[in-house]
Amino acid sequence: MGFKRAWSATGVVALTGALLLTSAPTASADYIRDRQWVIDVINFEKVWAESQGEGVTVAVVDSGVDGSHPDLTGQVLKGKDVTGSGDAQMDTDGHGTGMASLIAGHGHGANNAAGVMGLAPKVKILPVKAAVADDYDDDQWAKGIRYAVDQGADVINLSFTDPLASPGSEGAKAIEYAQQHDVVVVAGTGNDGIEHLPYPAKLPGVVAVGAVDESLKIWENSNYGRGVTVVAPGVKIVGADPSRSNKYAEADGTSDATAYVSATAALVRAKYPDLTAGQVINRLIKSATFLDREVKEVPDEEYGYGLIRPYSALTMDIPKGPKQGPLAQAAPSTSTTSGAASDGNSTSQAKKKKSSSGNIFFVAGIAAVVVVVGIAIAVIRSRRNGGSGGPGSGGGTPPAGTGYPPQPSGYQQYAQTPPSHGYPTPPEQDPQYPNPYAPQPPHQGQ
């Protein structure tokens, strides 16, 4: 054991008519649809004009996915149960089906106006059942990842944390296998509200996702720290849940945020099939926004590189950048923290450990050489910084004081677009109106 869902256990509630009729707008076409505040905030309709994820497969490594749910019919492939307990489409827990619905739900009924609508409704879901009642280990989800890769998954969604995993574990090796086969791997940062990134989000090259609430501020229970990549909505999220009597539930958690980022990656892969997984991640990062947040250093320990903007990720003029992308180049000192864009090469923790015996003068000599080389590099960079990259160059060094890390050659600087680009300016939280988006007209479906 050791697996932990990135859904907040205390934040999952069944959605019944009695619960929702007290809060849903009277103009509601469907009370489940009206609870999906993310639809209006991200503006799904505008995003779908650019991409709906057609031709892309997202593997959901989780508790299984119920392909018979009315909001997922026709979207779920056969998949595999790596636990050996049964069918990948048997989901008695409901978590995996919920994640799949946020990614590829298409609703149901007239004009698909009822039920859950996912961000990438034409994506195919590959269900990989790697847990039975939260009971599975590193070996199981590692097998699930390898299976997903071999089946041609373009994106792998990991909405869980595993405190027993490690850099040299089977899970870490499986993620490396996925990255070697050009797969985008996305994982949640966890729901403990502490400065700690767990595995698998902590591993190099993984898109580590935190959660924001309805005001688009960091959720109080979202784990934070060095290595957060981006954030996405993760509070009061309605998803499909076959374990509930009416097949739906509302939950809080970085699980849900992870699903939205996986869906965004799928949308980008569908529109730009020539991009590598690393270049897809580059678009996610370069199109993200901090809105009006004051961030001193990027990546920020709470927001990472910012809040995802699916429409901007699809439409912004962003150079491809290196094939490996900005996350796969984790420096040796950060190889176990996922992370920030870096110029170094990925090295496992085991390889970094050396015997403490040796000549201390030899070590001191190396340190002196490093200092001299560092000074030389600083001088060279200082000279290079004297010139401007010019408009549209995509290169150059950020102005002093911005806190942005130096980017590899060919990388565009992070967009400093107005807060209204892609998201409405988040209103101040008013205690009389806990949901700032409640006054918005209800979504009427496709």
Length of the chain: 446
Can you read off the two tokens belonging to residue 324? 């490996």
Question: How far is 99 from 251, CA to CA, in rounded Å?
Answer: 11
SS3 34: helix
C-alpha count within 13 angstroms, C-beta hemisphere, residue 341: 29
Contact 255, 235 (CB under 8 A): no
Contact 15, 114 (CB under 8 A): no
Contact 245, 148 (CB under 8 A): no
* Residue of 128, 73, 82, 78 lying closest to 101 (CA atoms): 73
Can you read off the two tokens belonging to residue 255? 């699980």
* Residue of 117, 11, 1, 101 lying closest to 60 (CA atoms): 101
**Catalytic site residue 245?**
no
Q: Which of 101, 255, 262, 346 is catalytic?
A: 255
Alpha-carbon torsion angle 52, 58, 61, 67, nearest 10 = 60
**Catalytic site residue 154?**
no
**Going along 213-345, which residue ranges are E strands?**
230-233, 237-240, 248-251
Can you read off the two tokens belonging to residue 50? 């650019």
Q: Which of 30, 34, 51, 62 is catalytic?
A: 62
**Catalytic site residue 71?**
no
Q: Answer whether the bond into residue 200 is a cis peptide, omega within 30°.
A: yes
Q: Which of 95, 106, 108, 443 is catalytic?
A: 95
- As annotated, the active-site residues are 62, 95, 255
